Amino acid sequence: MTKLLVVDDEKNIRFLYKEEFQDEGYEVTVAASAEEAMEKIRQTKPDIITLDIKMAGTDGIEFMRKLKEEEGDIPVVLCTAYGGYKQDFRVWASDAYVVKSADLTELKSVVKQILGDKHRDLVPV
C-alpha cells in the first residue's frame, strides 16, 4: 500500500486529506509540524509527502530543504492557500505545487502522477 504523509498545522486539513486519501486506498499518516513530520518519516518511510508552506515554527520551505538533504528521494507536494509562493524560487525544489482547495481533484491527480513517474523510474526499460 502506498504511504502518504500529510504535514499541515491545520487540524481540519489533516483530517480532510487523511479521509480523502484513505478512500483512494493510501495508508495516510499525519503530522502537525515539521518536527513531528521528521519523526513520522523516520518511523513510516512515506512514498510521498503533502506539505503546507505556512506553519508555525519551521515553515514548509525550510523543512523541505532539510528533508531533501536527509531523505532526498521522497517526493514532496507543496500545498498552500497562497498562490504567490509559486514565484518563489525556493519552492522549485518540490515535485509539485498545489493551491489548497476544498476540491482535492487536482491534488489527488498530482499525487498519482508523481507516484506513477516514480514507479516508472524504477522499472528497467
- Per-residue pLDDT, 124: 41
Cell readout for 30 is 499525519
- Per-residue pLDDT, 3: 97
Tell me if 37 sits within 8 A of 58, measured CB to CB.
Answer: no
State how many domains the chain has: 1
Domain CATH for 81: 3.40.50.2300
N-to-C CA span, the chain: 24
Low-confidence ranges of the chain (pLDDT < 50): 120-125
- Per-residue pLDDT, 122: 43
- Per-residue pLDDT, 102: 85
118: containing domain: 3-122
